[in-house]
């Protein structure tokens, strides 16, 4: 049965694990920052979020701890705001209430729920 809705707490938790995994895979030297080269190696759906985060920094640097905290906070804030009927879920209709840079993350997560890990990047 296809998943038509996504539980917000589940989406937030998966987003945390996803960004942690993406950072770990990309930041192979384990320093506290991601370079533009490392950002370019991130999965496409999170690359736009990280680029937006980098541009918002006064120094243009991406501190990985700050990134993780900011990304998860952003996902949580925007997901809860998208839930217009207050049922703690995002429907396909409510998906349009997400910022453009989170819609691909939502779609990929939803597809992972529908098709399992082999058919997804989450």
Model pLDDT for residues 53-104, shown as the tens digit of each residue: 999 998 888 999 999 999 999 999 999 999 999 999 999 999 999 999 999 9
Which tokens sit at 13?
């938790």
In our burial notation (b when 16+ CB lie closer than 10 A, e otherwise), range 54-82 reads beeeeeeebebeebbebbbebbbebbeeb
Confidence (pLDDT) at 3: 52
Beta strands in 1-122 (DSSP E): 5-7, 33-34, 62-63, 89-91
Indicate the domain borders of the chain.
Answer: 5-119
Cα separation, 96 vs 101, whole angstroms: 11
* For residues 14-38, average pLDDT: 94
């Amino acid at each position: 049965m296809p998943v038509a809705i996504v539980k917000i707490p589940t989406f937030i938790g998966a987003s945390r694990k996803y960004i942690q995994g993406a950072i770990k895979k990309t930041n192979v030297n384990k320093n506290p920052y991601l370079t533009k080269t490392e950002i370019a190696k991130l999965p496409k759906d999170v690359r736009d979020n990280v680029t937006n985060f980098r541009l918002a920094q006064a120094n243009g640097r991406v501190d990985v701890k700050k990134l993780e905290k900011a990304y998860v906070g952003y996902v949580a804030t925007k997901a809860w705001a998208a839930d217009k009927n207050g049922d703690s879920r995002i429907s396909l209709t409510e998906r349009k209430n997400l910022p453009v840079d989170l819609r691909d993350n939502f779609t990929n997560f939803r597809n992972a729920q529908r098709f399992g890990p082999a058919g997804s990047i989450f």
